[in-house]
Amino acid sequence: MNTIDLDRPPSGHRLDVKISPDEAAGERQVRLFKDVTLFLMAAGFVILIIVFCFLTVTSVAASVDEKKWAMSVLSAAAAGLIGYLIRK
């Protein structure tokens, strides 16, 4: 069995030691609730913006300039989604 001397880590390696307290069940629930709430709100705002842009692009009353910025936002959203999926 190989052993590593913690006083002298192998070359090209770094030793990090971290001691942290256990997360209590209540703290975990609050953190998860905050994370899920923030995610859902952000997703809701993004969906709202995409729907608004789509309605602008398909509207007959929207001007050419309005349709241009709406298409720019939709293109950026699509590119971001594709980039996210390809990275995964």
**What is the per-residue pLDDT for 1?**
67
C-alpha–C-alpha distance, residues 30 and 36, integer Å: 10
How far, in Å, CA of 80 to CA of 42, rounded? 15
- The count of other CB atoms within 10 Å of the CB of residue 2 is 3
C-beta separation of 50 from 57 below 8 A: no
Q: How far is CA 18 from CA 6, 11, 15, 21, 48, in A?
A: 14, 21, 10, 10, 42
pTM value surpassing 0.85: no
pLDDT tens digits for the chain (88 residues)?
677 777 887 788 888 888 888 889 999 999 999 999 999 999 999 999 999 999 999 999 999 999 999 999 999 999 988 998 898 6
User: Do residues 83 and 59 make contact, with C-beta atoms less than 8 angstroms apart?
Assistant: no
